[in-house]
């Protein structure tokens, strides 16, 4: 019962946040300079047609009427039509989600594969060269802008050494997996891996550095606890103590951060996707911003906002389910 109340409260809070996102994006649209009709038709188009378009889009209505109508349309899933392509905004958003999710997940995998061993080594070898190295890596990783890193990766690993391609997404992951599952040919899957590696590193480096730091500090905390001394006294091997007992306890906050950071990764993909011409939501957002295609900008931002809120609710709920004290607090 308490959990149900907790969940309801979180959902209501989430709804308020989403309403806030919708309102802010609408406010930005209303405050931005420029006549939307110029984005839809050539300036030479007759005044009658321009007026008709204005009428059709409701641009002649007072701003509060436009706002109410926009909210009403959103409630029935109508995000409007892109000024540039005249296509349904919801469709334009949905078709780009897989590419962005692929990138975000690949960046997460990169982060986990590198950060956790590095964090463990750093935490268990405090003040040794390995620790200094890992700390330096974390510092550099957190400080490096991902657009610069992306360009450097292209210049070094693609142009100079020719190990990876410079970008693009010639095949979708689900298609590559399907081909592999049905024919056992891994060609497409390898192509996908080659193309996503550099963007995933560029996007995941900040995240890797963050997780490395979290893992290190968690390891340091846990290693000082009495149960570690007890397990050592029992004569358990050091590797078992570190990886089975200590790391497991360290992972609880890390898993939470992993979930929450997925939303951040989707936002961070905007720059990475542009550098690597990776056709995801971020690239579409950038293109729509360049073109001031407001219905599309709003649609993408609302989607990212909703995604963020949902991930937060799921993580909070899992936490509350696993640890009922959170509900009481």
Q: What residue ranges bind other proteins (CB under 8 A)?
A: 32-35, 38-46, 49, 53, 82, 84-87, 92, 151, 154-155, 158-159, 162, 165-169, 274-277, 279, 283-284, 286-287, 290-292
Q: Which is nearer to other proteins, 170 or 237 (CB)?
A: 170
Beta-bridge partners for 81:
88
Q: Which is nearer to other proteins, 150 or 263 (CB)?
A: 150
Helix 247-275, helix 146-153: angle, nearest 10: 70
138 within 8 A of 238, measured Cβ to Cβ: no
282 within 8 A of 99, measured Cβ to Cβ: no
Q: Which is nearer to other proteins, 151 or 220 (CB)?
A: 151
Start-to-end CA span in the chain (Å): 15
How far, CA to CA in Å, does 197 sit from each of 101, 157, 163, 165, 302? 14, 10, 10, 9, 28
Q: Which is nearer to other proteins, 137 or 278 (CB)?
A: 278
Q: Which is nearer to other proteins, 93 or 111 (CB)?
A: 93
Torsion, CA 313, CA 315, CA 317, CA 323, rounded to 10:
-150
Element (H, E) at 124: helix 97-124
Q: Which is nearer to other proteins, 209 or 269 (CB)?
A: 269
DSSP3 helix / strand / coil % (the chain, rounded to 5): 80, 0, 20
Determine whether 4 is exposed, middle or buried from the number of CB atoms within 10 Å of its CB (0-12, 13-18, 19+).
exposed
């Amino acid at each position: 019962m308490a959990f149900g109340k907790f969940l309801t409260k979180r959902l209501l809070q989430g709804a308020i946040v989403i309403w806030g996102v919708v309102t802010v994006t609408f406010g930005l649209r209303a405050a931005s300079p420029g006549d939307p009709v110029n984005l839809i038709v050539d300036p030479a188009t007759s005044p009658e047609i321009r007026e008709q378009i204005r009428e059709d889009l409701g641009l002649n209505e007072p701003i509060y009427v436009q706002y109410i109508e926009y909210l009403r349309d959103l409630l029935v899933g109508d995000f409007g039509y892109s000024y540039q392509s005249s296509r349904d905004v919801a469709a334009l958003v949905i078709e780009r989600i897989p590419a962005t999710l692929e990138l975000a997940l690949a960046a997460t995998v990169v982060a986990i594969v590198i950060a956790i061993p590095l964090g463990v080594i750093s935490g268990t070898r405090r003040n040794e060269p390995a620790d200094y190295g890992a700390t330096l890596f974390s510092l550099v990783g957190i400080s490096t802008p991902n657009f610069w890193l992306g360009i450097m990766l292209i210049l070094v690993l693609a142009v100079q050494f020719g190990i990876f391609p410079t970008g693009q997404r010639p095949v979708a992951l689900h298609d590559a997996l399907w081909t592999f599952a049905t024919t056992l040919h891994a060609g497409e899957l390898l192509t996908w891996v080659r193309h996503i590696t550099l963007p995933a590193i560029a996007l995941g480096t900040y995240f890797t550095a963050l997780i490395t730091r979290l893992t290190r500090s968690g390891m340091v905390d846990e290693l000082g606890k009495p149960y570690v001394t007890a397990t050592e006294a029992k004569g358990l091997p050091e590797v078992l103590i570190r990886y089975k007992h200590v790391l497991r306890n360290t992972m609880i906050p890390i898993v939470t951060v992993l979930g929450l950071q997925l939303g951040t990764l989707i936002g961070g993909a905007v720059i990475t996707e542009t550098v690597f011409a990776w056709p995801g939501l971020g690239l579409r957002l950038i293109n729509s911003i360049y073109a001031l295609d407001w219905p599309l900008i709003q649609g993408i931002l609302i989607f990212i906002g909703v995604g963020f809120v949902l991930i937060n609710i799921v993580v909070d709920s899992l936490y509350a389910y696993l640890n009922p004290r959170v509900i009481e607090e």
